[in-house]
Amino acid sequence: MWVLTIDQRASRRRGDRVPELLGALPGAGAPGVVLGFDRTVGDEVQGVLDDAPTVLDVVLRVARLGEWSVGVGVGPVDEPLPASTREGSGAAFVRAREAVERAKRRAGELPVAVVGDDGGSAAERAADAEAVLQLLASVAARRTDAGWEAVDLVAAGLSQRAAAARLGVSAQAVSQRVRASMWPEEAAARPLAARLLEEADVSGTGVSA
């Protein structure tokens, strides 16, 4: 199981962006979402996921918005699960808190940290996952609006020619935007990031009684 704690950076200068963030994240009942994202306290948001690719997708959605720190806690959560993440407990919640505090001390467009089991291969996998997530998040955070327009369409399955027709630009322009956005590199690295997140979860079921 994965608990994500997401904290707004420089909220006093930027104002409360939690509603904007919640609108961009998958809601309760969406695939991979165990407990939907909700404001926990102040400008902090938390959710519980049971699918590594969904964890990755959420991190990159947050990177697209910018001005957030993300902590990923890996491990079991206590059952029965509550109705809200605010009432949740378990190792993954504790680790998510540790992760987001560590992320907040970092610089960069989207500081992200992953905390798993304290020792062994799971800890190594968590560190590896953190490195790959940080890299992918940095790429996503630096993507231009024009780049996102092209990437959104290509990632949805459109050919570059079809994407060009949709955007009213040349196929060459779409190709240039996709390359500049490093979408092929991101797409190739996504399965690795998801696998490392899965391998960091030594709890298996992700729940504890």
What string of pLDDT tens digits covers the 209 residues of the chain?
999 999 998 777 778 899 999 999 999 889 999 999 999 988 999 999 999 999 999 999 999 998 899 999 999 999 999 988 989 999 999 999 999 999 999 877 779 999 998 777 888 999 999 999 999 999 999 999 999 999 999 999 999 999 999 999 999 999 999 999 999 999 999 999 999 999 999 765 455 54
Which domains does the chain show, CATH number per domain?
Answer: 2-121+200-208 (3.30.70)
Are 86 and 38 contacting, i.e. CB atoms less than 8 angstroms apart?
Answer: yes
The predicted model scores a pTM of 0.90
List, in order, residues 6 or more apart from 193 with CB less than 8 Å away. 52, 56, 129, 132, 133, 136
